[in-house]
Amino acid sequence: MYYGILGYLMVFAMIFFLFRNKFLPSIIFVIVPFVAALCAGYNPAEIMTFASAGVKTTSANGVLFCFSVCYFSLMSELKVFDPLIDRLVKVSGNSAVAICICTSIVAMLAHLDGATATTFLVTIPAFLPIYKRMGMSEYTLLTITGASYIMLNMVPWGGVTARMANVLEMDVNALWQALIPLQVAGIVLALIFSAIMGVREKRRIVKAMNGEAGAETGGAGPEPIVLGKIGGKTWMNIALTLVLLVSLFVFKLPSTPVFMIGLALALGLNYRGVKEQEKMLNKVAPAALLIASTMFAAGVFVGVLNETPMLEEMTRLLLSLIPRFMGHYLMFIMMPLSSIIHLCFDADSFYYGLVPLIASVGAEFGIPEMEMSIAMMIGQQGTNICTPMLPTVFLAVGLAKAELGTHVKKSWFPLFILACCMFATAFALGILHF
């Protein structure tokens, strides 16, 4: 019980400090778990062992983020995305609603391969300059991207469906077939959600242009669009970027070496001499270093949580707090709770640790294990882009040049509302039953 309470206090303390925006996330992810582990009775040597184990799980993503963020920051400096930006803004007619819907569609298409990192790497660098040009918020970009890619996450090759199939001991394709109506409805809901977010942005931009509110992103409103010719070097960089994306999407090559080679080629082809290359790398590296350091620091949190009894005790504590007389309503309790508690659990711990336990408790009250699992999946996936336990969230926040705490504050509630709509839709479609 003590470890469970301590685990939740650790997570709540981290969320509190992230929301306050007084410290860098990397500081929070190191200091808070270290203090929590000391309170749990472990000595510094043991804590260092936990931290090392955790960092091993996040180091690969940290290296990927370092090179990928440098690459896309360099492409942004070279204005590679400007032709796309200009034409999209021209086609949309300066419509925030159209831009938001386009964002949703691109995020869904980019997630067809089920790789979250690729989705963020394709969607956010392409649309962030558009949002800046239009005076729109980067947090809206993150929210819409998060609302959209989760709808494609239900495909059989997506991690969520595969984990659920393993837990339920059923064929992954059979599970997906049961989820297809919900997935189709979810795609429609994501587009409607994006349109609503676009209307909100439009109103905010109008207020900013009228001087009634400060612009969040440094732009008070849309800038005039002038379509110019695309230079030879720009075409070269566009071709290089397309080759990288094809390597990731089509040939499924490992992401880290792809971006290592891409960054090396981009620097070598665009800048002559060591001094110029060094100057440009120094310009784009700080943002990448910030993300990578946060990613490595998050490993300390993961290590302390997984290498101590905290995670297991947190699950038991949660189960003990649910009154038995509310067992028949367990789905209605766990769906919203899943949107909150997945801030403490990584995907494997959630699906392989928590879901089977809750599903077995629900079965005692006549709730099919599959339905309980789907209800929890809707809650967990709905606010998936807000959890610090998902390494790619740091990538998304870094690419968008946003603050993690502010992102969670601005994105969590709209995404939770969308998850509630998905939950209600599952009942309407007969996938879940009262």
pLDDT in tens, 191-218: 999 999 999 999 998 888 786 544 444 4
Tokens 């995907």 — which residue?
Answer: 347
The residues, ordered by sequence, that sit 6+ positions from 356 with a Cβ below 8 Å of its Cβ are 167
b/e per residue, 376-395, with b = 16+ CB within 10 A?
bbbbbbbbbbbbbbbbbbbb
pLDDT of residue 377: 96
Q: In this structure, what DSSP letter does residue 225 have?
A: P
Give me the DSSP letters along 314-345. Answer: HHHHHHHTS-GGGGGGHHHHHHHHHHHHTTT-
Give me the amino acid identity at 428: A
pLDDT of residue 228: 46
- Residues 130, 89: contact at Cβ < 8 Å? yes
pLDDT of residue 183: 96
Q: What is the pTM of this model?
A: 0.84
pLDDT of residue 40: 95
Residue ranges of the chain with pLDDT lower than 70? Answer: 85, 89, 93, 211-232
The residues, ordered by sequence, that sit 6+ positions from 338 with a Cβ below 8 Å of its Cβ are 350, 375, 376, 377, 378, 379, 380
Return the domain boundaries, the chain: 66-292
pLDDT of residue 214: 47
The residues, ordered by sequence, that sit 6+ positions from 368 with a Cβ below 8 Å of its Cβ are 362
pLDDT of residue 232: 67
Give me the amino acid identity at 4: G
| Nearest residue to 304 via CA among 346, 352, 337 | 346
pLDDT of residue 231: 57
